[in-house]
Amino acid sequence: MAVLLHPTKIKRVLFGYWLGVPLLFGLYIFILAAVRNVSAVTIFTRIPSLTLASIIVFLLFFQLFGLAVIGHSSDCRHSLLGLYVRFNMFQQLCTFNIPGFFLCVLFYRSLLDGKEEVALTKQAQLVMYVLMGFVGLMTILTVWLRLSL
């Protein structure tokens, strides 16, 4: 179990999860369309909850991009990486992605408790804050739409 709590190992597991889920979901959509003998667009227009779920699932690609951008910047909880992981924990919980939430919790707990000053470029920091804003906004809109259906 201690090997799993190493930041590099759990980061790879989270990376694989955030990459695998959208790919499997996309495959599911195309298989569903093929079985029903309709186009994928028709599937999305006929099943609105599936459309909303696909938005949440494909947001994982953006979260994966963010992890790739700052993944090697620090191994501390009190850094931009720690903030990003906490943000993703909240986002995963709001969208009821329980496996993603637990992976984020494990990753956050594997980070060191100190504060590390790592010099990320201003451009990388801006990209991360814009990315968190975009993912947060899309999550709020999607959850609001889902609750109003």
Whether 67 and 111 have beta carbons less than 8 Å apart is answered as no
Q: What is the pLDDT of residues 54-84, one digit of tens each?
A: 999 999 999 999 999 887 777 778 888 889 9
Q: Which amino acid is at 88?
A: N
SS3 of 78-137: CCHHHHHHHHHHHHHHHCCCHHHHHHHHHHHHHCECCCCCCCCCHHHHHHHHHHHHHHHH
CA distances from 74 to 10, 20, 46, 87, 141 (A): 14, 25, 45, 16, 31
Residue 56 CB partners (closer than 8 Å, separation 6+): 95, 97, 139, 142
Q: Which amino acid is at 64?
A: L
Higher pLDDT, 7 or 22: 22
User: Tokens representing 15?
Assistant: 């990376």
Higher pLDDT, 39 or 6: 39
Q: How far apart are CA 138 and CA 134, in angstroms?
A: 6
pLDDT, mean of residues 118-134: 88
Query: Is pLDDT at 3 greater than 60 in this prediction?
Result: no
Whether 64 and 23 have beta carbons less than 8 Å apart is answered as no
Q: Report the chain's mean pLDDT, rounded to a whole number.
A: 89
User: Tokens representing 121?
Assistant: 């470029």
Q: What is the pLDDT of residues 85-114, one digit of tens each?
A: 999 999 999 999 999 999 999 999 988 887
Rg (CA), the chain: 17
State the pLDDT at residue 81: 87
State the pLDDT at residue 91: 96
Q: What percent of the chain has pLDDT over 90?
A: 61
State the pLDDT at residue 118: 65
- Total-model pTM: 0.87
